[in-house]
């Protein structure tokens, strides 16, 4: 087991980093916002952490925290700029945001290292630290998937106009989604830069957008578990398909197409629907028992009827 862990440590770390990247896309989707700005924040976080570590010798978690705060502020300001956009127009604007970050990094001179990027971002960040951050993030997001907060998020996603009429601040919720998306993307980028000790503009590209979106669509877009499932699959799948040689991209594409056709709600949604069907069959197979309240009402009715029948006999 230890040998397997040491041999696959890079893929294990990449799984958790991709998990955070997928969440940066999933969080806006949960409130009905089609945004890829989290990928741009990934680049912001990576460069911020690398610059602080290389030039100022800042500790790992301080650099990560600074990157998260900076990208969160940028994400909030960006949400103000695109506040009037929706749907395809918003998606295109967020793609442009990602490309702008890449261009700025390429032309940043000594600050960003230009086209070659930055090297030597040495830190004390470990795999355990990455896992701990992901666990905390998953726990916090799980709290938003239940209770009144979940119903508010679903209402904003399904019917914004009705939500506004009910007093829910739709604009505020969407701005918060952009802010959280920026924080998650920056966290992933910062930890990736510190683990790999390098960052370059080539990492902030359209391929990263496709990867993040694919992980969310295939895994599931309604829960953090879907993002984790997608991260596991698309981090390990390329290495598993290495034996297919030049057909790797073709097999990879076919898997994505078939999954999108036959699993529109993702793997998590498929598992949940199968579980509900099996649960429904078990309920129909078992004799139906009236709920406690109905049983009490039936008992009271029987007592009343028996009392009336006794009075009739008398």
Q: Are 12 and 5 in contact (CB under 8 A)?
A: yes
What distance in Å separates the CA atoms of residue 217 and residue 226, rounded to the nearest whole number?
Answer: 8
Cα 57 to Cα 61: distance, rounded to the nearest angstrom: 12
- Is residue 71 located within the same domain as residue 200? yes
pTM for this predicted structure: 0.86
228 assigned to some structural domain: yes
Q: How many domains does the chain have?
A: 2
Nearest to residue 266, comparing CAs of 201, 218, 213? 218
Domain identity same for 220 and 126: yes
Q: Is residue 308 part of a domain?
A: yes
Is there a single domain that holds both residue 203 and residue 161?
yes
* Domain end point (choices 241, 264, 287): 264
Give the CATH number for residue 238: 1.10.3470
pLDDT at 303: 53
Whether the CB-CB separation of 172 and 160 falls below 8 Å is answered with: no
For residue 61, what pLDDT is reported? 96
Which pLDDT score is estimated for 312? 43
In this structure, are 163 and 308 located in the same domain?
no
Reported in sequence order, the residue ranges of the chain that DSSP labels E, i.e. its strands, are 118-119, 198-199
Report yes or no on 31 lying in a domain: yes
Domain span including residue 129: 2-264
Q: pLDDT tens digits, the chain, 314 residues: what are they? A: 678 888 899 999 999 999 999 999 999 999 999 899 999 999 999 999 999 999 999 999 999 999 999 999 999 999 999 988 888 899 999 999 999 999 999 999 999 999 999 999 999 999 999 999 999 999 999 999 988 889 899 999 988 888 888 888 899 999 999 999 999 999 999 999 999 999 999 989 889 999 999 999 899 888 999 999 999 999 998 888 877 778 887 887 888 888 878 887 888 888 888 888 888 777 766 554 544 444 444 445 445 444 544 444 34
Q: Rounded to whole angstroms, how far apart are CA atoms 48 and 70?
A: 8
Q: Report the pLDDT value the prediction gives residue 286, as an integer from 0 to 100.
A: 55
Question: Which three-class secondary structure state does DSSP give residue 241?
Answer: helix
Amino acid 295: pLDDT = 46
């Amino acid at each position: 087991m230890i040998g397997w862990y040491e041999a696959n440590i890079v893929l294990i770390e990449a799984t958790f980093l991709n998990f955070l990247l997928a969440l940066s896309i999933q969080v806006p989707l949960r409130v009905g916002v089609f945004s890829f700005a989290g990928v741009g924040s990934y680049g912001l976080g990576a460069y911020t952490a690398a610059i602080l570590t290389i030039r100022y010798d800042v500790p790992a978690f301080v650099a990560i925290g600074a990157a998260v705060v900076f990208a969160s502020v940028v994400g909030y300001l960006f949400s103000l700029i695109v506040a009037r956009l929706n749907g395809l127009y918003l998606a295109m604007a967020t793609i442009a945001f990602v490309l702008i970050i890449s261009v700025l990094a390429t032309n940043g001179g000594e600050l960003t290292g230009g086209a070659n990027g930055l090297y030597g971002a040495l830190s004390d960040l470990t795999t355990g630290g990455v896992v701990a951050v992901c666990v905390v993030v998953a726990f916090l997001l799980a709290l938003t998937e239940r209770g009144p907060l979940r119903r508010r998020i679903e209402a904003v996603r399904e019917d914004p106009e009705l939500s506004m009429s009910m007093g829910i601040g739709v604009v505020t919720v969407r701005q918060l989604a952009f802010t959280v998306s920026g924080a998650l993307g920056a966290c992933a980028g910062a930890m990736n830069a510190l683990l790999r000790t390098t960052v370059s503009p080539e990492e902030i590209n359209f391929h990263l957008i496709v990867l993040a979106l694919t992980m969310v669509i295939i895994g599931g877009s309604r829960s953090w578990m879907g993002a984790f499932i997608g991260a596991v699959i698309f981090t390990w799948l390329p290495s598993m398909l290495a034996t297919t040689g030049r057909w790797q991209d073709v097999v990879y594409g076919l898997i994505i197409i078939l999954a999108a056709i036959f699993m529109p709600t993702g793997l998590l949604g498929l598992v949940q629907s199968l579980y509900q069907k099996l649960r429904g069959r078990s309920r129909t197979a078992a004799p139906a028992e009236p709920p406690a309240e109905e049983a009490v009402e039936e008992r009271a009715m029987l007592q009343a009827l028996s009392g009336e029948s006794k009075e009739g006999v008398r």
